């Protein structure tokens, strides 16, 4: 019941705290980068922890695509209570995960003027994905893009080692 909003409320508080403590300083552009990377870092560590639990009783994965599918289904459901709606890949290490109703954006008004606020609420989740992949042996770069709230695309680019 309140269970599902507990995480969302806490997430909102962190975003607002991280941004508030930064805006008290100068150099706005650098600050924006710092905030995103603080939130991304938190997500990264939580993602690492979560994926360990998720995959505890899971057989090994066949390939990268198999890992991405797991992420879109089991991992995503355990966090956001729904699957990713669409997964696309160019079969060369780039994956696009589309969530048409992303939980952490549903509380944000959908007017165009709020689009520039969106990255705040996506940084943590980019970190979650990157942390999960990292613990499964895949280095990646994860970015997010919103064109129409609350729909959201995460782009994952696997780094060849």
Residues lying near a copy of itself in the complex (CB under 8 A): 1-3, 5-7, 9-11, 13-14, 17-18, 21, 38, 42, 45-46, 49-50, 53-54, 75, 78-79, 81
CB atoms within 10 A of CB 83: 15
Comparing CB distances to a copy of itself, the nearer of 45 and 88 is: 45
Rounded least distance, CB 65 to a copy of itself, Å: 22
Rounded least distance, CB 43 to a copy of itself, Å: 8
Tokens of 56: 């505890």
For the chain, what is the total number of helices (H) and then of strands (E)?
5, 4
Helix 3-23 vs helix 118-135: angle between axes, to the nearest 10 degrees? 110
Comparing CB distances to a copy of itself, the nearer of 21 and 159 is: 21
Comparing CB distances to a copy of itself, the nearer of 51 and 149 is: 51
Comparing CB distances to a copy of itself, the nearer of 81 and 88 is: 81
Name the strand (E) or helix (H) holding 129.
Answer: helix 118-135
Strand partners, 94: 157
CA 153 to chain centre: 10
Rounded least distance, CB 133 to a copy of itself, Å: 15
């Amino acid at each position: 019941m309140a269970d599902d909003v507990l995480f969302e409320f806490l997430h909102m508080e962190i975003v607002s705290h991280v941004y508030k403590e930064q805006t008290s300083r100068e150099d706005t552009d650098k600050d924006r980068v710092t905030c995103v990377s603080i939130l991304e870092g938190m997500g990264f560590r939580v993602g690492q922890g979560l994926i360990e639990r998720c995959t505890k009783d899971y057989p090994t994965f066949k390939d990268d695509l198999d890992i991405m599918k797991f992420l879109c289904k089991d991992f995503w459901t355990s966090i956001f209570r729904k699957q990713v709606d669409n997964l696309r890949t160019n079969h060369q290490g780039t994956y696009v995960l589309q969530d048409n109703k992303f939980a952490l954006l549903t509380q944000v008004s959908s007017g165009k003027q709020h689009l520039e606020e969106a990255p705040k609420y996506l940084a943590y989740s980019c970190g979650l994905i990157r942390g999960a992949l990292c613990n499964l042996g895949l280095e990646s770069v994860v970015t997010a893009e919103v064109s129409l709230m609350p729909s959201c695309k995460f782009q994952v680019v696997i780094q060849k080692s």
